[in-house]
Chain A
Amino acid sequence: MIINHPLLGPRDAQEFTYLGDASLIDRPDWQAPDAARTFYEYHYLRDNPAGEHRELWFHEQGDRSWLVVTRNTLTHEITKVELAREVARTRGRSA
């Protein structure tokens, strides 16, 4: 698989480490009254779709950036690659 890095261009997926579902960006509020429940769901439960999946890849052997890759789990086709930082920012999670 080739991941088209937004800053560095096409890179072999072998340079990356995979973390999992990009929903892990949406860390729940630890002070919320239902934090125990939301952290359990955040940590352990997954949509696990067959088809389009947004996921986190770490460019470990490159610029060490985190990417959000939109990939089809049935075909391995990659349709979108974003910097995780930008994704987090648009959701108000990062400065």
Chain B
Amino acid sequence: MINSKKKLVVIGNGMAGINTVEQILKLTDKYEITVLGSEPHPNYNRIMLSYVLEGSKTIEDIILNDLQWYEDQGITLYTGKMVRNIDGERKRIHTEDGLEIDYDLALIATGSQSFILPIPGKELPGVIGFRDIADCTAMLEAAKTYKKAAVIGGGLLGLEAAKGLVNLGMDVTVVHLMEDLMERQLDREASAMLKAELERQGIKFAMQMQTAEVYGQDRVQGLRFSDGSELEADLLVMAVGIKPNIQVAVQSGIETNRGIVVDDLMKTSMPDVYAVGECAEHRGICYGLVAPLFEQGSVIAKHLAGADTEGYAGSVVSTKLKISGVDVFSAGEFITAPEHTVIVAKDEWKRTYKKVLLRENKIVGTVLFGDVSESASLQKYVRQQTLMTDEIYGQLMGTGCSKDGAKTLSAETMADDEIVCGCNGVTKKAIVDAINENGLTTVDEIKACTGATRSCGGCKPVVEQILQYVLGDSFKSAAKQGICGCTTLSRDEIVAAIKTKGLTTTREVMNVLGWQNDEGCSKCRPALNYYLGMINPDTHENEEDSRFVNERLHANIQKDGTFTVVPRMYGGVTTPEDLKKIADVSLKYNVKVVKVTGGQRLDLIGVRKEDLPKVWEELDMPSGYAYAKSLRTVKTCVGSQFCRFGTQDSMGMGEVLERKFERLDFPAKFKLAVNGCPRNCAESCTKDIGIVGNDGGWEIFIGGNGGIKARLADSLCKVKTDDELIDIVAGVMQFYRETGQYLERTSEWVERTGLEEIQKAVVHDIDNRKALIERIEFTLKQLEDPWKKIIHNADSRKNLFEVVTPSMV
């Protein structure tokens, strides 16, 4: 058979070109495809170069389509081939090195290049852009030999480059012409918050500085600014913008402006020649992000496959900065103008900022900083110019209680061909089909199957919503997994088996219950060790090797590998003598920082591992268990001893409770607070157990949390006497110890178990309360101060803490 396929030649092997090809292949096989790319690599995810530079990905990780893929698809690929021009008369493409290729249809997808400022010295070695693998490798190399880097440009690209270079250990200054960072995506407020955060992460800034010249002998040595001042740098990254690659079009007589001019079907002025991606200019706009390129590619694909398509009408772009710990999002119109109605929430304590702009009550733009959990819904509202309603307002600005319901709804109403994952061009339909056809139940499976969430991760919340919406009720049961990847058994099944089968060690549990991974993992081993100890408090032998480092070494590990020591201070009360001792020991062992914690104690931060036992010995104080899944602190207010409002002795009660229940293991860390009166100065509402004194007794609250999952405590009951108070506290603690899942805080436990269940078990059922108290008392008897124990045990002192230093090398 004579080949009846039409020849499609793609110029540019980048993200837009290959994505268009992928979309074409999904719709039709009537093209014989050839791809020419000037880079020596197969198609890779340019977005992720930031991660390569930052060190969390390698070049191999970011390859999107390897050479095998091209072969499997029957695509002829030329890498390292630069196209010179298109001969529209003969329908032939010419490369720089003399190759000629005939086409029926041609697609220009040549992207853009870094814009290099036209200043003296720009051609010195060490001056580069941030665009491709070559630039990225150049930076990685430079960081090995040089120390000082400058990045010109405080936009998305410049900041990501700067963060990467900081991670590589360089001293980095970002030079920015404007007053605000990312001024094309953020407003002044968000920009200032961003700058503060990045400074915290080690990036320096030279704002409102215009670079006049790059100086250096054989290599860049520094910059000179227009005001005459200088900045030393032995690497200079220019990230001031991009310039569409239009040479091929220019050489071929195709109409260009800033980019290659295209119509709504992405056709250029030359018949049968299309353009897509950053090189294309549509209705006056050249887009510099991937999401629009995929929308353009989809139009071309449908058109070339002969399917109906409406044509490309432009995109609403949104931005996400890929720097860990810095969440920034913006979409649509974000600079306030007189015609906008603005909704703003700024929280300097949580360092969050949220702004939504309305025009004629329609949502037209947004800026988020610090908390971007609403970005998915907001992006959709902006794109669809949704009318603001009370419901949406509540969802965005309210307490967030109705969040789940509203979100599921948005996945449901989303159009099939709406792109969910902008980075990888995955539509809602593709995800829904993948779930239905392959029986997927997790985001990871969807990632492996469709590529969604594979890049910046910004789309993950929406992917989760779609999963939830498609699976409906079966979502929960499908998501029902074992306590970790090593087993399919749940916490309750394991605890029951330990009891009925009389299992005594983690190893035994794993053997008998058929663990897939012989020795378990960092998730199940500590959990099993806890359950075993909770069930058999007298006979269980704590397994050091199944404890997370903090609990094994009885100190908090810090990011540099040093440790923090926190002595106990019962009820947050100390003495001048103890303070003096703490000060002396801190000086002697070079403690880096002495910090007052949120729980009213002193952190001695930065102790070397090998010094820990000596520090404990010399402090001669009990361990504060600041590192453990255990009773941490009992926060107290001043109370009736001194406070003019106090009706109960909160300091006294705090101390009693802390002394009684210290050293007890819990499923997760455990905090108490005791207040002398309802003014609640010690903030009981965010503690696992909060106690508030009143005129005739105490009120007990449980399940509060000020951490990851902020939650106000529920009122459990009121009691009249101190004894009753201690009994109820003991009952709640033991009930939680016995029924909580490992790492589950009481805030989650109370919600899962139900307040009424707990009231029944601890408050109303007196016999049960007694039994709980008996068991907790029995456990309390077994406990010993870990610091003392180690000080007196030469073996564990040596094996756990000492560093071996062989004398001769």
Real binding pair: no
